[in-house]
Chain A
Amino acid sequence: QVQLVQSGAEVKKPGASVKVSCKASGYTFTSYGISWVRQAPGQGLEWMGWISAYNGNTNYAQKLQGRVTMTTDTSTSTAYMELRSLRSDDTAVYYCARVLGVGAHSQIDYWGQGTLVTVSS
């Protein structure tokens, strides 16, 4: 069965960076993409961006351009999301999700369990 297992909770100070991992299993990793979606406490879902596990192509949300980097390691079927220059409003649960297709034809079907990132001085 498809599983996306994320790394554990993180506490960071403002200005620091965080890197969250997402290990995939149960499917051919390079046949799908990975999107990252975050959810601030008590708030809705916010799409952060997407990476192709096939060729590493990325598409980031405009508001995060310059602060976020998504990568994959096909040898371990693991996706990573690094967010830099952390601010208090980056405090959220970060989800990775499997994506079938690209762009307008993309479809998120399976989600990781989420990783809580807390930014606090």
Chain B
Amino acid sequence: QSVLTQPPSASGTPGQRVTISCSGSSSNIGSNYVYWYQQLPGTAPKLLIYRNNQRPSGVPDRFSGSKSGTSASLAISGLRSEDEADYYCAAWDDSLSASVFGGGTKLTVL
């Protein structure tokens, strides 16, 4: 059971916009930054969004992040086949004094 809650799966067709949610509590998302990682099949995770809504250089602006209260979202617009991957949210948890991850969302491009 992960501290952060994500839907196990999401899907969309090429060109569509999809969102992935991440729900937490006041001790994690509610008081700290949210990060998003993309894990392509058989590879290590890659930083996609940092500090709620910032993109590292090289990450397309099709990817965007937002946070409101104790929830966060990752949006992917103009969906492409290469976006098919697992997506994880993460945040620091003040009560646990630890970083915590969501259970991951498998995105399928139909």
Q: Give me the interface of A with B, judged by CB distance under 8 Å.
A: 35, 37, 44-47, 50, 59, 61-62, 95, 103-114
Contact = CB atoms under 8 A, between A and B. Distances in A.
B63 interface: no
Contacts of A61: 98
A108 B103 contact: no
Interface stretch (B9-17, B41-49, B70-78): B41-49
B35 A44 contact: no
Contact of B47 (A47, A103, A105, A109): A109
B44 A44 contact: no
Interface residues of B, number: 26
Given A35-B99, A61-B98, A111 B104 contact: no
Contacts, number: 57
Contact of A47 (B33, B56, B99): B99
A62 B35 contact: no
Given A44-B104, A104-B92, A107-B51, A95 B45 contact: yes
Interface of B: 2, 31-33, 35, 37, 44-47, 50-51, 56, 88, 90, 92, 94, 96-104
28 contacts: A35-B99, A44-B2, A44-B88, A44-B101, A44-B103, A44-B104, A45-B45, A45-B101, A47-B90, A47-B98, A59-B97, A61-B98, A62-B96, A62-B98, A95-B44, A95-B45, A103-B97, A104-B31, A104-B92, A105-B92, A106-B99, A107-B35, A107-B51, A108-B47, A108-B90, A109-B47, A110-B47, A111-B45
